[in-house]
Amino acid sequence: MVSPAIALAFVPFLVTLLIRYRHYLLLLYRAVLLRWLRQRLSGVPPEQRACQYVLAHAVPGDPRHVLRTFDRWCCRREHLSSVGPCKGRIVERLLRERAPRAVLELGTYCGYGSVLLAQGLPPGGRLYTVEMDPGHAAVAEKLIRLAGFDENTVELIVGPSEEVIPRLKEQHGLLKAEFVFMDHWKRCYLRDLRLLEAHDLLAEGATVLADNVIFPGAPRFLQYAKTCGKYRCKVHRASLECFRAIPDGVAELTYAGPR
């Protein structure tokens, strides 16, 4: 049995840990424990709860208001993973600079990134967005259409990215992507980047953005991007959505062509 003196000796250490990692503990509470509890009590998945809130409070046809409403839910009610306003400004700036006509998004989730990307498209631009979970895709479809984007502007493709990417040319008419945004499972970033290369889906000079490369992180993806010789790579430092004290970042890759 541990003596009281030894137990007391650990108190300063535990207090230091709690102070240092309090933001991560809060994230764990809001993103995992609170979501689980609310789902148990309501029987409604968190994505559907967020969707109901946005549908009730956002202005139809106003993409920016849809995004702000979603941010309000995530920061005040219940944390859901999204690009968020801080990293969203990075994405918006790069979209304006590149003005891509063909954009591919991997990981639609609730449609936040899709609305963000679609509002930055030049006239005649088209977004192809891929989501493996049918339930999440159904939520995203509602929010994308609420923001005012039809099927001619945003095509939502349901299926695992490793199955969808090889058939993008034949079945969906995406010949070359000029801008790619990755925001799905981080362990899939490298695999899917290589798939895009293998199927010749990246236009020369294409921009590839990858979210959450610092938290939770995508080290193998970053190592490949920096060492393979096919990309110029930089990381835009930012913070995790709704948690300014948790560092995160968006990787920007510029495709130089096969080597």
Phi, psi of 239 (to 5 degrees): -130, 160
The span from the CA of 7 to the CA of 28, in Å, is 26
Per-residue pLDDT, averaged over 90-106, amounts to: 97
Write down the pLDDT at residue 22: 76
- Residue with the two structure tokens 């010949």: 175
Average pLDDT, the chain: 92
CATH number at residue 131: 3.40.50.150
Q: Tell me which residue of 74, 88, 67 sits closest to 27, measured CA to CA.
A: 74
Q: Tell me which residue of 226, 229, 176, 172 sits closest to 206, measured CA to CA.
A: 176
For 110-147, the pLDDT digits (tens) are 999 999 999 999 999 999 999 999 999 999 999 999 99
Q: Tell me which residue of 119, 177, 170 sits closest to 146, measured CA to CA.
A: 119
- Tell me: cis bond preceding 100? Omega within 30 of 0 counts: no
- Count of domains observed in the chain: 1
Residue 29 lies in a domain: no
The span from the CA of 119 to the CA of 153, in Å, is 10
The span from the CA of 26 to the CA of 84, in Å, is 17
**What residue numbers bound the domain in which 115 lies?**
84-255
Residue 144 lies in a domain: yes
Contacts of 116 (CB under 8 A, 6+ apart): 63, 67, 83, 88, 91, 92
For 143-189, the pLDDT digits (tens) are 999 999 999 999 999 999 999 999 999 999 999 999 999 999 999 99
For 198-227, the pLDDT digits (tens) are 999 999 999 999 999 999 999 999 999 999
Residue 165 lies in a domain: yes
Going by pLDDT thresholds of 50, 70 and 90, the confidence category of residue 20 is low
| Order of strands across the sheet that contains 126-131 | 154-158, 126-131, 102-106, 177-182, 202-210, 243-255, 231-240
Residue 162 lies in a domain: yes
Q: What is the number of other CB atoms lying within 10 angstroms of the CB of residue 44?
A: 12
Residue 28 lies in a domain: no
Active site residue ranges: 183, 186, 211-212, 241
For 24-39, the pLDDT digits (tens) are 888 788 887 888 888 8
Per-residue pLDDT, averaged over 7-29, amounts to: 65
Tokens standing for residue 190: 């490298």
Residue 100 lies in a domain: yes
Beta bridge partners of 209: 181, 252
Per-residue pLDDT, averaged over 55-66, amounts to: 98
Q: Tell me which residue of 201, 185, 34, 197 sits closest to 106, measured CA to CA.
A: 185
